[in-house]
Amino acid sequence: MFKANENYLKLPGSYLFSTVGRKQREYSAAHPDKKVIRLSIGDVTQPLAPAIIERLHKAVDEMAVAETFKGYAPDLGYEFLRNTIAKNDYADRGVDISADEIFVSDGAKSDSANIQEIFTADSKIAVCDPVYPVYVDSNVMAGRTGTYDKNTELWSDVIYMPCLADNNFAPELPKETPDIIYLCFPNNPTGATIKKDQLQEWVDYANKVGAVIIYDAAYEAYISEEDVPHTIYECEGAKTCAIELKSFSKNAGFTGTRLGYAVVPKNLKDADGVSMHSLWARRHGTKFNGAPYIVQAAGDAVYSDEGKAQTKAQIAYYMNNAKVISQGLKDAGYTVSGGVNAPYIWLKTPNNMSSWDFFDYLLENANVVGTPGSGFGPSGEGYFRLTAFGTYENTVEAIERIKNM
Ligand code: MLT
């Protein structure tokens, strides 16, 4: 008789955003008269920008004509898109990443879950706490995390780097040496960032101890402050220790369209000199048939002059929501951080409520859905995340309701 993968059986509960979604649907079903406002999962609400839609239409038309029809996409991505990314996201920032170090994918969530496959099964991972749950869950599935302690909600073989108010939600170098370090800046869920000299410390550390950094830069487009790095490759030596993941979801509204990329530098080699670039290429070749042509064409349009201007305006729209949330919550007496270089606002729950108690309280009393901080890890207990990705009208209404609770 076949048997299930025992690693999957170790996963506690369902995926965080599935749980949040289920609770919201149950509440809405029980209270059909209530207008529930979702500020929970970081899903965009603004439609795709006109320049992107125009390119999508054109690409669809190309698929109807024999001369321009496209079949399987190249599994590493179309060259036109990889060249555009190399120029705009790297060369224009003075960073030298070549087009063939870029692997186009269907999004940063898949890349952040899959990238661990190219590292040995006994690799020790280090994660921030709180953390985007995909990093830990995907390593649980790979059998790398040891045993789960229900009381502490910690895995025995994972190195946790607590990110709390007293370290400005920035991790400190771990005491125990990891093999794989997951960093995400601007951070999901806390919205915190680190400066370039702080990131340089991580790069120096990783090169010194022989660790690899998986750098999730999905929220890079939201950086508004000077001296916050837009890519880890701004740091010297990053090409020998870092993989960078980028998404088109948050900067250009592709959450439903799906597009992202990973940078795996050619100089990234393991202890035996094995090229991680060639392993990731091998993995793509076997397991991935490329993001759809029409989506990659649309991704290219994000970097056109119109595309840049239109997506910048959308980011400004969401960051205005972030201001509304931050200011409104502060006025209501909450302790708030994030929301400056990221579309996430991280708040302390009032009266030492647990994160899930506050979730219920907010849902019942303000009909607003957020994400409990403890869902991102034990150091998120007593915190709560709201996203700025709602519509302006809903965001204003949600904050008014919270103020009136
Ligand atoms: C989040 O809400 O944390 C993200 O939207 C989830 C994701 O990007 O997969």
How many whole angstroms from 38 Cα to the centroid of ligand 1? 13
Task: At 218, list the tokens.
Answer: 């999905």
Q: Give me the domains of the chain, ranges plus CATH numbers.
A: 6-47+306-403 (3.90.1150.10), 53-303 (3.40.640.10)
Task: Output the pLDDT for position 75.
Answer: 84
Q: How far is CA 150 from CA 11, 91, 127, 161, in A?
A: 11, 47, 18, 19
Token reading at 57: 């239409």
Span from the CA of 42 to the centroid of ligand 1 (angstroms)? 5
Given the CA of residue 249, which atom of ligand 1 is nearest to it?
A: 8
Per-residue model confidence (pLDDT) at position 180: 98
Ligand 1 atom having least distance to the Cα of 43: 5
Residues belonging to the chain: 405
Could you tell me the distance, in angstroms and rounded to a whole number, from the CA of residue 338 to the centre of ligand 1?
Answer: 16
AA identity, residue 272: D
Mutating to test ligand 1, I would choose from 43, 105, 106 the residue with most ligand atoms within 8 A of its C-beta, which is 43
User: Tokens at residue 345, please?
Assistant: 């606002």
| Residue showing tokens 């969530």 | 109
Regarding beta strands 125-129 and 180-184, do their DSSP bridges make them parallel or antiparallel, or are they unpaired?
A: parallel
Read off the DSSP letter of residue 386. Answer: E
Strand partners, 347: 336, 384
Q: What is the CA radius of gyration of the chain?
A: 21
- Strand bridging mode 37-38 / 368-369: parallel
| Mutation probe of ligand 1 site: the residue of 15, 16, 17 with most atoms within 8 A of C-beta | 17
**CB 41 near ligand 1, within 6 Å:** yes
Query: What is the full per-residue pLDDT of the chain (405 aa) written as tens digits?
Result: 999 999 999 999 889 999 999 999 999 999 999 999 999 999 999 999 999 999 999 999 999 999 999 999 998 999 999 999 999 999 999 999 999 999 999 999 999 999 999 999 999 999 999 999 999 999 999 999 999 999 999 999 999 999 999 999 999 999 999 999 999 999 999 999 999 999 999 999 999 999 999 999 999 999 999 999 999 999 999 999 999 999 999 999 999 999 999 999 999 999 999 999 999 999 999 999 989 999 999 999 999 999 999 999 999 999 999 999 999 999 999 999 999 999 999 999 999 999 999 999 999 999 999 999 999 999 999 999 999 999 999 999 999 999 999
